[in-house]
Chains A and B, each alone.
Chain A
């Protein structure tokens, strides 16, 4: 593990992984900088490095929660599934928008509480973000201390739809946990949760 980082030369610091983790946002900002300039040149990289360091010194980020790296295969699968969800639900909401033009009772929705299996706030944030990205569901309240999020789901007008949405979130969460890897996304059982997402992941 020591010496694995290409940025950590010299006297080996005790916390190589931590250093790498702190280097990640710098690398990301430099990448954005270079992309904004549009052309790769060493002047751009150096300028980006300076800007990134200044920005991160002035506005320090909270420590990243993860240990270890994304797992590539699981990440690919999660991205693929999410893409499918995105397309399907976009078409669904498009249909519902057109359907609402017809005279008749307006469309009904639900505000659904979804308990999560993972105790990690980071997983919660990612799941929230992904759910809000998908048309048809918007997370309107998050309470990390209860490990529960509340989502408004368009067109969920019976108990079956509510249960289906909970199932969808559980699958999404399992995907996220699988992609992040267990150390970064601990799953512990709360007394109230069923932990079905954790079961699927546990194999």
Chain B
């Protein structure tokens, strides 16, 4: 049998160690001040195998060495996709020239039934020349989105065959080594985005 005193002492020791553990995990967070959400260590490094706008199979290796800004969407998207792509393209254009060359915007269409490589090409070229447009079999897209803890879903098509697609509204930022670094929320301002991208470009430069 344990006396009440024993139990109280153990209770206090356990509570103290819990508190210590919590404060430790609080201290270990990165001291850098990102405007975006810091996702270092939360997600695996960039990897995919998808079709580009010329119809060729490409992987993350093909853009290695660049800072990759990946966004999931679809070309019939009425609001968030054009807004985000425009914001990304403008933010990159406002960076110093050498930093601009470091940046690679990647648009992944999660609506392969409607978005052919040609359609994606004319869509991304509208925003900027250098954007990589990707899509693939739904299975490959599911695998990629699962890897980054996101998903997409389709609404029932209406009479004209139009349907909405739910998808991630965030931009996933990977550094030159392909490590997941930042998650840019849709509401993050242009200036805040430029500051983050500049800081990332200056790393190890």
| A, B in one complex | no
Binding site for A on B (CB under 8 A): none
Binding site for B on A (CB under 8 A): none
